Structures are given as structure tokens and as C-alpha cells.
Structure 1
Amino acid sequence: MNPEVDQYLDIGCGRCPLGGTPDCKVNDWQEELKQLRLIILESGLKEEVKWSVPCYTYQDNNVLILSAFKNYCSVSFFKGSLLKDPHDIMVKPGKNSQAARLLKYTSVDEITDTEHILKEYIKEAIEIEKAGKKVHFRKNPEPIPDELQAKFDEDPVLQEAFEALTPGRQRGYIIHFSGAKQSSTRQRRIEKCIPKIMGGKGFHDY
């Protein structure tokens, strides 16, 4: 076990103002996150912390991340769109997500009852990495600014948090970012809004 993940479970990711406080979303899913962590570790994946959240890798390739949200905690597969999903339980973080797929959990009992499925999916995800398979991306139909897409490419946790927002909140941010004429201004606007996005809030929320 990586001690940095223990720290995450204690105080959260620290990427929004709620980190280290009783209102941090990690506190709502302590038992679920701990149980999911143990199941994932049984697979032999390496436990790391990337983008301030638990990330599990195979030979330096990202396979999945463990995250806490307001209404659920999740196991998110980086190449989830390549998984067969015979149980039809994986969901997209957002309607335009092309690679990532989530397994959402809201109770310890749910995790226990479906543990064998999670292990099955993790095993397949590892085989995908062994085979060197890639996700073939199509052009995103949404007018996402290049600067925001670049931020998503370097920080998939931010993309997951953004895509978990309602369509209206996503649109509000995109309009705000795209309204700047200069790329440097768009970048500054994005950086300033990251804590709110990570906190599940819209641009006009307080």
C-alpha cells in the first residue's frame, strides 16, 4: 500500500477548498473507498497517486483511478471504452466521453455483491495494456476550447470532474473560457476555475 493513498483517505485530494474538512467528499465514502482499494490491490497493479488521487498502473501505464464524488465513489478505467462490459454496468463520465468509463458505487454491500465483476473488469483492463491497445478518438462535437482540452489531456481527473457536471454547468464554463480572445487569458480563466470544477460547482455557483 502506498502511504500517499492513506493521506488521500485522511484529507482528500486537496484540489478544492473542502480538502481536509469534514465536508470533503472522501469522508462520505471512507468504507467504500477502502474496500475498493483492497480489491484493486489484489490485482497486482501498482498503487500510486497522480493528479492527487489514487491511480493504479501496469508497467507505468495508467489503468484506473479511484475517486469520490458527491453522490457516489467510482473506479474509472482510462480505456474503459475498450472493455467488453458484458454486465452493461459501465457509464460514461459525460455524454461526450470517448475513453473513460466508470463503475459507480454507493454502498459497501454493493461492492461486496459485485466484487467478482470488478475483478473481471480489472483483469481485462490489464490484458488491454499488455496487448498495447489504444483508444481511437474522434473529434469532439462540443466546442471545447483547445486550452481546456490540453488541460484535460494532462489531467484526466479534472476531465472526469468536468464531465460529471450537468450539461448546463459544462456549457457555462465553456462559454466563459471561450469568451476570452487571447489563449493566455483562456488559460488563466481555466486555472482559476479548477477548484470550483473539482468541487462539483458551476461557474455561477458559490
Structure 2
Amino acid sequence: MKEEKHTWDKVNQWGEELALLRNIIQKTELVETTKWGGEVYTINNKNVLGIGGFKNFFTIWFFNGVFLKDEAQVLVNANEGVTRALRQWRFTSAKEVNEKLIMQYIREAIENEKAGLSIKPEKKEAMQCDYFAAALKDDKKLNIALEQLTPFKQKEYWEYMATAKQEKTKVSRLEKIKPMILEGRGLNDKYRS
């Protein structure tokens, strides 16, 4: 049996502290699940919060924590400028765990989820590549084959071509992907299970 990997307990030093958080969370209606190698708690299959241990702290994070009132001012944005909705509550010792206050935050997070409060991810514009566009215009068969792929796979090819800086790189990349597109394969299909 393969050993389960817990990427959110990076240093394995917070076992008792995470068990303390887990015990508090289990008193709620949230459902425990494993996502991205860590413990995530959901309601109606929507992510509400997760817990994990890192080098200098253990944490409970709220996926839509930006909507919490945070009257105790305990939440931080773990990745300022990148993370829009997620907020963490970090602890460095079990003594800092205040069950009553944590339950207040969890209840509010559950109510926010039930109310549908969330920040939707922004759709990124597909990258453009004049070289690839010209190649598709010149080769109708290639263009048709690309259009028959899913939008996700099309986007992968566009980004792959658009990130090539030098002309020789664009040429070699086009040579590489042309047979893949004509066979109806995605750029990264071999990595997908």
C-alpha cells in the first residue's frame, strides 16, 4: 500500500495541534475530505476551510476568508497580491487555540458559503502568437484539427507557442506539436491519467 502524502503538513511536527483543530471542526456540519494532499472541510461539496502544518506554524485557512468579519483580527493573506479570497489563521502553539473563537469563525464561514459568497476566478485571456496564427492560416488541415480539440487543449497549445521567445524555438515547437494536433492529442496528454 502506498504511503499517503500530506503536503500540508510539511514538517510533521504539528500532529497534536492539528488533531486539536480537527476535533473542533468535527463538532460542525462540515464534511472532511482530502484535496491537494491535505485536509479540506466542505459543505454541499464546496470548500470552506482546511488545516495544515508548516515549518513555523500550523494553520486553519478559510477558502473565502475575505468575507469573514475578522473582529479578532487574526486572519492573514498568505500570499499578498496573488491570493484574493483565502485567509489563514496561524498558530505557533496549542495554547493559542481558542475553541470558542474558532467556532465563531467557522460558523460564519459556513453561513457565508450557504449564502454563496465567493470570489470567482478571473478568466485569463488566451495568449496569442502571430507565428502560430500564421501557421494555422497556411495549413487548413492543422487549423481544423486544432479546432476539434477541447478549448483547454487549444489553450495549452497557444500558450506553449506564445511563450517561445526566439524564432528557432517557435519553429522547433511547431514541428513538435504539429503531429500531436493532427492526431487529436493534447500537449500534456501523456501526463494525465
| Bin of the TM-score, shorter chain as denominator length | 0.5 to 0.7
1:125 matched to which residue of 2? 109
Structure 2 residue runs without a partner (length 5+):
128-162, 165-169, 177-186
Structure 1 vs Structure 2: percent identity of aligned residues?
A: 34
What SS does the aligned partner of 1:129 have?
A: helix
Structure 1 residue runs without a partner (length 5+):
1-6, 141-145, 147-179, 192-206
After TM superposition, the structure 1 = structure 2 runs for residues 36-47 of structure 1, keeping only pairs within 5 Å, are 36-47=21-32
Instruction: Normalising by structure 2, report the TM-score.
Output: 0.59
Report the CA distance shift for 1:109/1:12 in structure 2 as closer, same or farther (over 3 A). Answer: farther
Structure 1 residues 163-203: Cα deviation after superposition (integer angstroms, max 9, x where no partner): xxxxxxxxxxxxxxxxx52899xx98xx9xxxxxxxxxxxx
Contact 2:85 2:118 in 1 (8 A): no
Amino acid at match of 1:65: G
Structure 1 residues 38-63: Cα deviation after superposition (integer angstroms, max 9, x where no partner): 00111121011111100100011110
Contact 2:33 2:41 in 1 (8 A): yes
What SS does the aligned partner of 2:69 have?
A: coil
Q: CA deviation at 1:117?
A: 1.2
Contact 1:81 1:99 in 2 (8 A): yes
Amino acid at match of 1:85: D
Q: CA deviation at 1:136?
A: 5.5
* Counterpart check, 1:56 vs 2:41: yes
Q: CA deviation at 1:137?
A: 5.9
1:75 matched to which residue of 2? 60
Structure 1 residues 153-172: Cα deviation after superposition (integer angstroms, max 9, x where no partner): xxxxxxxxxxxxxxxxxxxx
Bigger RCO (CA 8 Å, 6+ sep): 1
1:66 matched to which residue of 2? 51
Q: CA deviation at 1:12?
A: 4.7
* CA distance, structure 2, for counterparts of residue 77 and residue 46 of structure 1: 14
Q: CA deviation at 1:138?
A: 7.1
Q: Which of the numbers 65, 71, 75 marks the counterpart of 1:90?
A: 75
Bigger fraction of residues in helix: 1
Contact 1:65 1:77 in 2 (8 A): yes
2:146 matched to which residue of 1? none
Q: CA deviation at 1:139?
A: 9.2
Amino acid at match of 2:44: Q
Amino acid at match of 1:72: F
Q: CA deviation at 1:134?
A: 2.1
Instruction: Normalising by structure 1, report the TM-score.
Output: 0.56
2:138 matched to which residue of 1? none
